[in-house]
Amino acid sequence: MPASVGAPRQMLRRLREVMAEHVSAQARLDKIVVLIASNIVAEVCSLYLRRRDGSLELMATEGLNAVAVHNTHLKPGEGLVGLIAEQAEPKQFADAQHHPAFSFRPETGEEIYHSFVGVPVLRGGDTIGVLTVQNRIKRQYSDEEVEALQTTAMVLAEMIASGGFLADEVTTETRRSTNETFKGKPISETVALGHIVLHEPRVVVTRLIAEDADLERQRLLVAIEELTGSIDAMMERGDLARAGEHRDVLEAFRMFAHDHGWRRRLDEALATGLTAEAAVQRVRNDTRARMMRMPDPRFRDRLHDIDDLSNRLLRLLSGDTQTAAMGNLPEDSIVIARTMGPAELLDYDRHRLRGLVLEEGGANSHVAIVARALGIAAITQCKGPLDVVEPGDAAILDAEGGELHLRPTQELISAYSDKVRFRARRQAQYAALRDVPAVTLDDERVGLNINAGLLYDMPHLAESGADGIGLFRTELQFMISPTFPRLDQQTQLYQSIIDAAGDKPVVFRSLDVGGDKDVRYFRIGAEENPALGWRAIRMALDRPALFRTQIRALLRATNGRELNIMLPMIADVWEFKQARALIDREVALLEKHGWPQPSRLLIGVMIEVPALLWQLDSILPLVDFASVGSNDLLQFLFAADRGNVRVADRFDPLSPSALRALRQVARGAEKHGVPLTLCGEMAGKTLEAMALIGLGYRSLSMAPASIGPVKAMIRSLDANNLQQRLDELLEGHAASLREDLKSFADTSGVQL
C-alpha cells in the first residue's frame, strides 16, 4: 500500500512529537523506526549509522531481530546498505536477496524479506548513515514513499548533528590537546604562525518541521531576495568593483544565486513539510552528495559556490549574519574551512589574515586564485583538521611543505619562528638587490622576469625588481569568467596590464586552455589523455574566431606600444605559420580601420612539445623570440604526468637527458640569433636556475618570490666555470646531476 502525497508531512509531525518526549536516546531511536515503518506500511525499518572506523552499525530496527541491534556491523561498501552509503543515493530492489551486493547476516532474520529500499542519511554531503525499509512481498516503492524516507533521513541527520541524540562514540570525535600535523596541497608557498579561526561555524538547524508551509515559503523568498541584494552590493563595493579578474569570479557567484534550478529544488523541499532552514540544508546535502562524486572539476567549483550561498542563506534565515570575517579577528588569523567561495575570502580583513586551510578544493579553484593574489599562506585538500580543531588553537601553516601543525610544541614553534626570522632576513637581503642587475661574476647579464596572470599580480613587477613579465597567462581571465569574455573586456584587461608594466615588456601567451585548464563554457568533451588532446593552439586553429578575437583585443590594447605574443603548444612548423597568418590578418584589419598599431609586433613560439626539438632549424628563423615551457616539455619528454603524485617526481629535471634537450634548444636559439627565455618551475629554483645558466640561458621567468633568491645566486656565480663543468658532466651517464651541481655550488661559493 503506497504512502499518500501527504506522507512526508504527516511523518514529520509525528516525528516531532517523538523527539519532544523525555526518553533515552535508544528509546527515541526505537520509536522513530516504529513510526517510519507504520507510516510507509513496511514490515521492517532499520537505521544504520557510520562509526569512526567507517563501518555501519545497526542502531535501531522494527521488524528485524532485536539481538542484531549494536551487534550487526557492515564494513565500508559491504551489502546493500554499504552500497547506498558509498554511492550516497537512494536505491530500491524488488528482490534484494538476489542482488549481487546482498550480504546475509543470520542474526538479523531478514532472509524472509524481499523488497528493500534505502536512503542515505546525509550531512554536508557526507553519508553518516542509511535508513532502510523492507517487506516480505516483492514490490516497487512509490516516489512518494522514497521522498518521505529522504526527508525523514535529512531530519535525523540534523538531529544527530545537534548533539545529545546519540552516543558520543558515534556522533562526535574526542577533542585532543596534543600536537597534530595534517598534509595538504600548497596554494601559495609561504609560512604563517597564528591562531585558528573557524570559517562560519555551521548553523545548526534546530527547527526542522514546518508549522505553516506558506509562512516558510515567504521566509525563504525574503531571505533569497536579501541574499541576492547583498551579492549585488558586494559587486559594487569600491575595491571589488576595480578588482579586474576577481570581479569575473564574483559574477559567476552571482549567477549561481539566480539559478532557477537551485530555487526550484528549494521549493520542492519546502513542499515536503520542512522549514525554510531545513529545506536549504536538504538541498545542500543532496547537491553535495551528487557533485562530490563527479570527477569533472567544473562541478566541484560550482559545489563550492552553492556551499557559500547555502551558508549565507542559513545565516539570513536564522538571523545570525555575523561571520568570522565580520567579527574581531586575531592579528594572526589562520582561517580553516571545509570549503569556501571566493567572495567569502574577500570578506576577511586582509591585514589580519595570515593563512587559509581548506579541506576541499583544487589548487586552481576560484578561491585559490584569490588567495594567491592576497599573498597569504594557503593549502587545500587538507583532510581531517576540522574534526579536532577548536577556535583559538595555536597553529603553524607551512604552505611551502603543505603542512598544518595544530597545537604545536614549543620546540616546533621555536624552529618555525627561527625559520620565519631567517626568511625575513633573507627577504630583506633580496629586497636590497631589487635595483641591482643580475650579473654573474664573469659579467654575464641574465634577464629575470615574472610570470603573471591577474591584474593583482602587477605590483609584484616593481616590488621584485624584475625586468618584465616573461609569461602572462591570458587563460586565467577565461577560467574565472562565467562566459566567454567579450572583446571590450579582453581589451580593457590587456590595456591595464600594459599600463601597469610601464616601460617593461610583457609577453602575452595566447589562450592556453584544455588539458588541466578547464573552461566551463567550452564544450571540449571527455578526453582519455587531455594533456595531449585538444588544447592551446590546436583549439585556436580549429576555432579561429576565438583566437582572432583575442588577437584583436591585444592589438587594440597596445595603442601604439610594443606587443609580444607567444604561441603555446606548437608541435609542427605549419601550426605556427597558420597562426601567424591569422595574426597578420588582424593586423591588416587594424590598419584598414585606422586603429593605432603596435610600435613593434613580436611573435614568439613556446617550445614545450618535444617534436619541435627536431624542427628548431625550421621554426627559429620564423620567430621573433622563443620561450621554453619546461613544465610541459619535461613531462612529455619523460611521459610522466606532473599532476600524478606517483610519477611526477620519478624523473629529475636535472638528469642528463633533460639537460641535453634544454641545451639543444639554447644552442639552436644562439645559432639563429633568437632571444630565448625559460618559463617554468625550473627557472624559480636556485639550483635548477644555475644549471640553466650553465646551459646558455640568459633569460628566465618565474614566480615573483623567486626573483631575489635567483638573483643572489647569479651574482655569486662564475657562468663560464659552470658551463665547462656542466659540459663535462653531460658526457657521463649519471641518473641525475643534482648532487654534482650542489657540490660545484658548495666549492665555488655559489649562494643557493
Q: Give kind and range of the element (H or E) at residue 115.
A: strand 115-123
**Active-site residue 366, yes or no?**
yes
DSSP string, 218-283: HHHHHHHHHHHHHHHHHHHSHHHHT-THHHHHHHHHHHHHT-HHHHHHHHHHHHTTB-HHHHHHHH
**Active-site residue 679, yes or no?**
yes
Considering Cα of 553, then 342, then 336, then 87, what sign does the dihedral take? Answer: negative
CA distances from 368 to 342, 564, 710 (A): 8, 28, 26
Joined together, the cell numbers standing for residue 752 give 643557493
Catalytic residue from among 45, 114, 199, 679: 679
DSSP string, 609-662: SGGGGGSHHHHGGG-SEEEEEHHHHHHHHHT--TT-TTTTTTS-TTSHHHHHHH
- Beta-ladder partners of 679: 629, 701
Assess contact for 272 and 154: CB atoms under 8 A. no
DSSP state of 384: S
Pick the closest to residue 353 from 337, 366, 365 (CA basis): 337
- Beta-ladder partners of 368: none
Joined together, the cell numbers standing for residue 292 give 562530490
Q: Is 412 exposed, middle or buried (0-12, 13-18, 19+ CB in 10 A)?
A: middle
Secondary structure of residue 517 in the 3-state scheme: strand
Say which residues have a Cβ less than 8 Å from residue 608's Cβ, sequence separation at least 6: 568, 569, 628, 629, 630, 631, 632, 633, 636
Phi, psi (degrees; rounded to nearest 5) at 305: -65, -40
Q: Please provide the distance, in angstroms rounded to a whole number, between the alpha carbons at the two ends of the chain.
A: 77
Amino acid identity of residue 645, one-letter, is V
Catalytic residue from among 114, 199, 366, 405: 366
Say which residues have a Cβ less than 8 Å from residue 392's Cβ, sequence separation at least 6: 195, 196, 330
Secondary structure of residue 147 in the 3-state scheme: helix
Considering Cα of 341, then 343, then 347, then 348, what sign does the dihedral take? Answer: positive
Q: Which residues are catalytically annotated?
A: 366, 679
